[in-house]
Amino acid sequence: MADAADNDELLLLVSRLYYDDGLSQGDVARMANVSQAKISRLLAKAREKGIVRITVAEYEPRDLRLQTELEKRLGLHQAVVIKTAEGCSIEELRQSVAHFAAPWISAMIRPDDVLALAGGRAMQWLAQAMKPAPETTGLTIVQAMGNIDASVGPYDALELGRIIARHWDGTFLTLNMPAMLPNARTRKSILALEPIRLVMERLRNVRIALVGVGTLENSVFVERGALNENNLKQLKKAGAVGEICGRFFDRQGEECKTSFRDRVVSIELEDLKKTDEVVAMVVGSDRTEAILSALRGGLIKSLVIDQAGAIALLEGASSEF
């Protein structure tokens, strides 16, 4: 029997032996009289020609019970709780949550939408996984916060906005400047520049925002050296429990009255409150207090989270929710 890849009889034989009879590729090679090195290529050709059609039973990646409970207890517009395998590293959790949440978030975007986009380590995977529907055109992405430092990392909003704009054939408006300026006077001068002023105006009128929720202990600002130990002490003294787009807030979801609020270049928390849909993407069980505080202040409206994080959130929720 000829071993050419276009020989359907051969493709049927190796497919039957491998998929139906469960033989190893070595056994299949011997029975079909071809080299073992060719078996993988022949099986791939069989799938390509439709001789082999592999189907997988529908997998539900979301924990629907936890989603319903979160929405009911916390008053969320929508909750997406992604099932995760035990023993995963935090980076593997971020990738898994982003992969399965991406279709749901993509479906929220409407034609000619304006989206405020924050950076984040989980958001990095999300930006790569999001895919537009054919009718979803005219998307404008607005960078929700300036750059943390001089080097643009793979999870900074400046990089993620470019990825989404390319995938969606959209427009990206950048805040290509530091997120944290030296003082309020410098910030005021820079915000008066027309290119920056126009982007900030768009941030006041977005329909949907994608953000992360940080803590003082787990923040890219600390990780990248933008905040030092003295800065953290000042924020803790002011009652800070969480951070969104470089803006630190207290247990009531109100921005802390520190010098940082007049130095940061990002979407205002008051503007987030007025935004129709603010989706927070959080991975891990260490953000409970920050998420609940953001919800009290109306800073976030919907939530994407992993199972362990959802359980911790429900355990920490107070009776007011």
Strand partners, 62: 82
Domain with CATH 1.10.10 in the chain: 8-48
Q: Which among 273, 272, 271, 243 is positioned nearest to 258, based on CA atoms? A: 243
Residue-by-residue pLDDT tens, the chain, 321 positions: 444 556 889 999 999 999 999 899 999 999 888 898 899 999 999 999 999 988 878 889 999 999 999 999 999 999 999 998 888 899 999 999 999 999 999 999 999 999 999 988 889 999 999 999 888 899 999 999 998 876 777 888 999 999 999 999 999 999 988 888 989 999 999 999 999 999 999 999 999 999 999 998 877 777 777 788 888 899 999 999 999 999 999 999 999 999 889 999 999 999 999 999 999 999 999 999 999 999 999 999 999 999 999 999 999 987 566
Asked if 273 and 279 count as a contact pair (C-beta separation under 8 A), the reply is no
**pLDDT at position 321:** 60
CATH code 1.10.3470 for 8-48: no
Give CATH for domain 64-316.
3.40.50.1360
Domain with CATH 3.40.50.1360 in the chain: 64-316
**pLDDT at position 1:** 42
